[in-house]
Amino acid sequence: MAEFLVKMADERGRVLEQTESASSESDLRDRFAKQGFYVYSVRSKGLFSDGFAVASRRKKVKQSEFVIFNQQFFTLIHAGLPIPTALELLAKRQRNPYFRSVLENVRERVKGGEVLSAAFAAQGVFPQLYNTTLVAGEKSGNLEEVLTRFIAFQRISMAVRKKLLVSLIYPALLIVLVTLMLTYLIAFVVPKFADLYRDLQAPLPTVTLYLIAFGQTVNHYFPFIVLGIAAILLIGWKWKNSDAGAEKLDRMRLKLPVLGSIWLKYQIAMFARMMSTLLAGGLPLVPALETAGASIQSRTVARAALGAAERVREGLSLSRSLEETKMFPELSLEMIEVGESTGAMREMLNSVAEFYEEDVESAVAAAMALIEPMLLIFVAIVIGFVLISLYLPIFSIGSAMQH
């Protein structure tokens, strides 16, 4: 019998993850489904299966494609089409071969009697927020309404993300161009001056000697330097995707002077938006907290949300539970507390999300307005230093010839 890693939720909404032995994935799913558990995912723990699972998880469905699919899916089932028929039509129209194969698998599972949420969860490529939203819709008998709320959430999330990316395009391009320009200057221009001064046999200032030696070294070992940087980036990428690396990187990101605060506010906004969407779909508070926490990019904020879910389960209020994590800003806690006391939690969470989304946009714009001139000043200083170091001997030779 093979070993599988099972992620599931019980009737109280607690998310569990454990290793179990079974002859196949379907047998394991059936076993826990009969016991009343909702199974999120089942992954083989075998050597080759793990490698295949890792490779397959790298393939993701684009957010824009997924939003379009859900809009079309909602339209078809709202028109009265059965879910398997709607999935079949959308799979045939899907241009992305990978997404098409995923939808075909979902359709086959639904036709075989599996519920829609379990069929989507079995693919392992869709956000947990979506799978949990479908569960809420199936339990409440109002799948169309929860799909509408999820689509609205995805649209807002995409709009906020697009605004942030647009703000970062110019600084990113500027950094790339500056890096390429300085690399070319040091690696290829400076050695040409070394040949010139060698022919003149003129005494060179110390700063010029150091700059020429550095430029010649970079020029001589340029292919190895490029390979070394590529290797470091590859190792860094693998480390970033590991659990320990993601944890460390997230802590470092949160400690950055200005950008750390922006990152935290962005995560709080996404968390509040997810919570509002899940609560509006009829999900209880504790499962909503666990799902929103598991869907957040920041490992630190996710851990805080999961810890808050445990405290809420023990009877503490949401605002007090989040306050004890020491992660959430005071203003967000006050707004959530008002929502709890007035019975308008979902609306207040939406207000929290909107407030911090606007705050993040303003902070990013201000940071970019500060970074761009600082970058230009840095480039001017570096280029000025290089030019002065290179042309200083020429000025010295010219003044010596006049005397």
For residue 208, with 0-12 CB atoms within 10 Å meaning exposed, 13-18 middle and 19 or more buried, which class applies? buried
Same domain, 344 and 310: yes
Question: What domain range includes position 115?
Answer: 63-155
* DSSP string covering 332-401: HHHHHHHHHHHT-HHHHHHHHHHHHHHHHHHHHHHHHHHHHHHHHHHHHHHHHHHHHHHHHHHHHHHHHH
Q: Are residues 239 and 121 in the same domain?
A: no
Evaluate whether 6 touches 28 at the Cβ level (below 8 Å). yes
Per-residue pLDDT reduced to its tens digit, 302-355: 888 888 988 998 888 888 999 998 888 888 899 999 988 888 888 899 899 889
Indicate whether 48 pLDDT > 50: no
pLDDT band for position 21 (50/70/90)? low
Structure tokens at 294: 């598991």
Q: Are residues 366 and 401 part of one domain?
A: yes
Domain boundary among 137, 155, 173: 155
The helix or strand, by DSSP H or E, that contains position 210, with its residue range, turns out to be helix 206-220
pLDDT of amino acid 51: 38
Q: What is the pLDDT of residues 89-111, one digit of tens each?
A: 998 888 888 888 889 988 988 88
**Distance from C-alpha of 209 to C-alpha of 148, rounded to nearest angstrom:** 68
Q: What is the CATH number of the domain that holds 25?
A: 3.10.20
Q: What would the pLDDT profile of 200-240 be if each residue is shown by its tens digit?
A: 776 778 888 888 888 888 888 889 989 999 999 999 888 88
Instruction: Give the pLDDT confidence of 265-291 residue by residue, as tens digits.
Output: 988 988 888 888 888 877 888 888 888
Residues 108 and 163 both lie in one domain: no
Q: Up-side HSE of residue 219: CA atoms within 13 Å toward CB? A: 17
pLDDT of residue 373: 85
Q: At what angle do helices 128-140 and 285-295 cross, to 10 degrees?
A: 160
What gap in Å lies between CA 390 and CA 58, rounded to an integer? 48
Q: 228 and 358, same structural domain?
A: yes
- Cα–Cα distances (Å) from 222 to 54, 177, 212, 227, 321, in that order, read 34, 18, 15, 9, 54
The H-assigned helical ranges of 242-298 are 243-255, 259-280, 285-295
Which three-class secondary structure state does DSSP give residue 91? helix
What 331-339 contacts at long range (C-beta under 8 Å, 24+ apart), as own/partner pairs, is 331/355, 332/268, 332/272, 332/356
Cα 110 versus chain centre, distance: 30
**Same-domain status, 124 and 246:** no
- 222 and 86, same domain (yes or no): no
pLDDT of residue 22: 66
Give the phi and the psi of residue 203 in degrees, each rounded to 5: -65, 135
Q: Can you tell me the distance from the alpha carbon of 319 to that of 312, in angstroms, rounded to the nearest whole number? A: 9
The mean predicted confidence, pLDDT, of the chain is 82
Q: How buried is 45 (Cβ within 10 angstroms: 0-12 exposed, 13-18 middle, 19+ buried)? A: middle
Q: Stretch 356-381: mean pLDDT, rounded?
A: 85
> In terms of pTM, does the model score above 0.85?
no
Q: Which tokens go with 3? A: 């070993």
Total domains in the fold of the chain? 3
Quick one: pLDDT at residue 224?
92
* pLDDT exceeds 80 at position 384: yes
Position 57 scores a pLDDT of 42
The whole-number average pLDDT for the span 181-208 is 81
pLDDT band at 15 (very low <50, low <70, confident <90, very high): low
Q: Helix 345-402 and helix 330-342: axis angle, to 10°? A: 170
Same domain, 167 and 144: no
Tokens, residue 136: 């809420």
Give the list of residues 6+ apart from residue 315 with CB closer than 8 angstroms, or none.
none
Q: Where does a domain end: 119, 140, 155?
A: 155
Tally helices (H) and strands (E) across the chain. 18, 3
Give yes or no: residues 208 and 302 share one domain. yes
pLDDT 10s digits, 143-153 = 888 888 888 88
> In terms of domains, do 230 and 129 share one?
no
What CATH number is associated with residue 287?
Answer: 1.20.81.30
Which of 8, 15, 7 has its CA nearest to residue 286? Answer: 15
Of 99, 120, 155, the residue at which a domain comes to its end is 155
The candidate with the shortest Cα–Cα distance to 271, out of 328, 334, 208, is: 328
- 154-163 b/e (C-beta count within 10 Å ≥ 16 → b): bebbeebeee
Regarding whether 281 and 139 lie in a shared domain, the answer is no
Q: Three-state SS for 318?
A: helix
Residue 125 and residue 172 share a domain: no
